[in-house]
Structure 1
Amino acid sequence: MSPPVERNPSDADLRRWRRYLANERAEAAVYRDLAGRRAGSEREILLALAEAEGRHEAHWRELLGDDVGHPQRSDLRTRILGFLARRFGSVFVLALAQRAEGRSPYEDDDDATHTMAADERIHEEVVRGLAARGRSRLSGTFRAAVFGANDGLVSNLALVLGVTASGVSNETVLITGLAGLLAGALSMGAGEYVSVRSQRELLEAATPNPEARAAVPYLDVDANELTLVYRARGMSAEEAQNRAGEVLRNYTAHGSADITPATSADEHEAIGTGVGAGASSFCFFASGALIPVLPYLVGLTGLLAASIATVLVGIALLMTGAIVGLLSGGPPVRRALRQLAIGYGAAAVTYMLGLGLGTTGI
């Protein structure tokens, strides 16, 4: 891509520049809105991003000159991003902003500078880092919620369709679906609680005892057993010696020593709590498993009830897949279709099995 050159712009050029100008204004507003909901370094980073978008805005304004025209609306994607930023300011917005920065057209546009294209690439990484903080805080409970909802949707749809296909009465299908809901929700909640609780207990067992710092003043400075602690944690002999020396110097200077790793609290936060994960799994499995049962609860029967249940579950699967895609920074449409294909595939297998059992009279 070469630097912009002096030329007479065409009508298409002017339209494109105005669109870029509108988008830069909107993106700067998004970052300012997000900054208004943050504090400390995150606020400073977001305001710096807004300032950079302002520089890009000035570039397009300079190119347009007297042809800048009336302020235009930004594209639909940027308007949606601004709407979400003003009302939520959450990790979802940062994930969307990350994708928006990654789709910048400046690298292939001769009217944008090399610096602007480089800015957009770096902005993607900056927003990725900010979004990663939110993803880390969400990861434990959110994982349990997504897994719970998806399992409830797929397993209970498969169960209901399989039983429906066998030709049993509507009452039997309804009781089976509600029993599957309760049994699955209890199983998911208990399993997630035990899993997360066990993970935390293993992490606690590997976390150094804070009281060990009380032994530091009494260590033999020449032998310095503290080096063995750091070598056991994976440091080389030289790194362990340097780290141990640093701890002892800090104690001499300040009268205190900390030999525990700085990441242990973050690891605990990332996996969440057993109660939170278990409760999320129970509630979201139950809410997901309720959807396939709804048509039967209102008195529908047979193929009509099964069809409506399948459509409702499909919509829910598309939504959960899109949410996962947004949070992971991946393409939401592709993630949504993947969820749908997996769910419908499992349901189709059990439906065919139910048809076979009904035909043979088992």
Structure 2
Amino acid sequence: MSTNQPTPAQIKRWRGYLANEQAEAAAYRDLARRRSGEEQEILLTLADAEHRHADYWIEKLGVHAENPPKPDIKTRLLGFLARRFGSVFTLALMQSAEARSPYDNDADASRQISADERIHAEVIRGLASRGRENMSGNFRAAVFGINDGLVSNLALVMGVMATGVSAQIVLITGISGLLSGALSMAAGEYISVRSQTELLDASLPDPKAREALHSLDVESNELELVYRARGMSEEEAQAKATRVFNKITQQKRIGDNVLGSTEAQSAGSARSAAAFSFFAFAIGAFLPIIPYVFGMSGLAGAVVSLILVGISLMATGATTGLLSGKPPGIRAIRQLSIGYGAALVTYVLGLLFGLIL
């Protein structure tokens, strides 16, 4: 470690690092309080690591470490979310923050600290992935259903309005689009989930096959074929079948894991997913027609509709960005661009139809 006196610029930068490390340690501890078991232990270990990093900057700063400044805005936001919510969204934001470590291009930071931050990002990625997997499929259906309703009905309303028809016709068209789209979404979600469940059921072992194991010819070892059919090599299948037969011989019984669990993997409730999709799409599709419900028409109605939908599109885009661990701002702008792009295309087509008719 260099014995030279740090420059004012270095002191300012290091004090910022110190403040952020201390705030991140506190955020990890706040998250840990909302969890238990292994996840809590992992988060507390990360908090200890952030404290070690803070100690590194305290040592380098010496007397300048006293009264560090406030953390940067992003770190303060993470701390607020960790204290108030502790959800998968907070973990996703922390994953993104850890991946953009400022230490990679800073010669004053030790290689160990830089490496730690990279590994922390992967640890948080793993914890966030658990949360995404455990997150209700109904929640995801709601987010994507709202987005579909926003885009499709906005495009429909803008296209019809551009033809020059009355506000009443625009409203009727928007309501028709709401109902038809919501019903279509619900039906599609129901069929999708039911089909997935049936496919999973078809892959499960027949419970009656387990009863036949006691009567199998050990010499022929037909059980080996079951394991080979499931992708094992001949040697692996033979070894596993032998272990099963030995267990039957020694214990005169067989456990539930011989042929696999008979419980189907959960594909979610088809009816529940359909209901969520219906109402989510309906909510999204209702927003573009709100100004027409209240009697607005023409340019004023279109502007209000675009504003309402634009805000909602950015919100759903940011939400999906958080769920995927990506920067929410970029996803919000992308979602807005897609929605407005679709509306622009149908508006231009509506103008053309209006001129032709």
Q: Scaled by the length of structure 2, what TM-score is found?
A: 0.93
Matched, 1:282 2:278: yes
Give CA deviations for 1:188-211 in whole Å, capped at 9, x if unaligned. 111111111111111111122345
Distance 2:28 2:61 in 1: 24
Q: 1:300 to 1:103 in 2, by over 3 A?
A: same
Q: 1:261 to 1:78 in 2, by over 3 A?
A: farther
Report what 1:239 is aligned to: 236
Which residue, out of 62, 68, 71, partners 1:74? 71
Which residue, out of 297, 305, 311, partners 2:307? 311
Distance 2:104 2:333 in 1: 30
* Partner SS for 2:217: coil
Give CA deviations for 1:203-226 in whole Å, capped at 9, x if unaligned. 111122345333333333333222
Which residue, out of 42, 47, 51, partners 2:48? 51
Give, as a single letter, the amino acid of the residue that structure 2 aligns with 1:203. Answer: L
Which residue, out of 15, 18, 31, partners 1:18? 15
Q: 1:14 to 1:251 in 2, by over 3 A?
A: farther
Give CA deviations for 1:259-280 in whole Å, capped at 9, x if unaligned. 2457976xx34x4321232122
The offset of 1:249, in angstroms, is 4.3
The offset of 1:166, in angstroms, is 1.1
Report what 1:157 is aligned to: 154
Give CA deviations for 1:174-195 in whole Å, capped at 9, x if unaligned. 1111121112111111111111
Report what 1:302 is aligned to: 298
Give CA deviations for 1:282-322 in whole Å, capped at 9, x if unaligned. 11101110110111112211111011111221121111111
Report what 2:90 is aligned to: 93
Report what 2:165 is aligned to: 168
The answer to which of 74-83 and 333-342 deviates more is 333-342
Q: 1:264 to 1:130 in 2, by over 3 A?
A: farther
Give CA deviations for 1:2-40 in whole Å, capped at 9, x if unaligned. xx4222111111111111111111111111111111111
Q: 1:56 to 1:245 in 2, by over 3 A?
A: farther
The offset of 1:251, in angstroms, is 4.6
Q: Is the 8 A contact 2:155 2:343 kept in 1?
A: yes
Matched, 1:184 2:181: yes
Q: 1:39 to 1:213 in 2, by over 3 A?
A: farther
Give, as a single letter, the amino acid of the residue that structure 2 aligns with 1:121. Answer: R
* Partner SS for 1:223: coil
Report 1:350-361 matches (<5 A). Answer: 350-361=346-357
Q: 1:261 to 1:103 in 2, by over 3 A?
A: farther
Give CA deviations for 1:329-355 in whole Å, capped at 9, x if unaligned. 122222222212221121111111211
Report what 2:254 is aligned to: 256
Q: 1:284 to 1:216 in 2, by over 3 A?
A: same
Give, as a single letter, the amino acid of the residue that structure 1 aligns with 2:347. Answer: Y
Which residue, out of 133, 140, 143, partners 2:130? 133
Q: 1:58 to 1:250 in 2, by over 3 A?
A: farther
Report 1:200-239 matches (<5 A). Answer: 200-239=197-236
Distance 1:9 1:210 in 2: 72
Give CA deviations for 1:53-78 in whole Å, capped at 9, x if unaligned. 11111111111121112142111111
Identity, in percent, stands at: 59
* Partner SS for 2:70: coil
Matched, 1:324 2:320: yes
Give, as a single letter, the amino acid of the residue that structure 2 aligns with 1:25. Answer: Q
Q: 1:98 to 1:356 in 2, by over 3 A?
A: same
Q: 1:279 to 1:212 in 2, by over 3 A?
A: same
Matched, 1:114 2:111: yes
Report what 1:347 is aligned to: 343
Q: 1:115 to 1:222 in 2, by over 3 A?
A: farther
Q: Is the 8 A contact 1:5 1:111 kept in 2?
A: no
Give, as a single letter, the amino acid of the residue that structure 2 aligns with 1:296. Answer: Y
Give CA deviations for 1:150-172 in whole Å, capped at 9, x if unaligned. 11001100111111111111111
Q: Scaled by the length of structure 1, what TM-score is found?
A: 0.92
Q: Is the 8 A contact 2:178 2:286 kept in 1?
A: yes
The offset of 1:242, in angstroms, is 2.4
Distance 2:29 2:248 in 1: 43
Distance 2:181 2:318 in 1: 24
Matched, 1:336 2:332: yes
Report how many residues are paired: 355
Q: Is the 8 A contact 1:140 1:273 kept in 2?
A: no
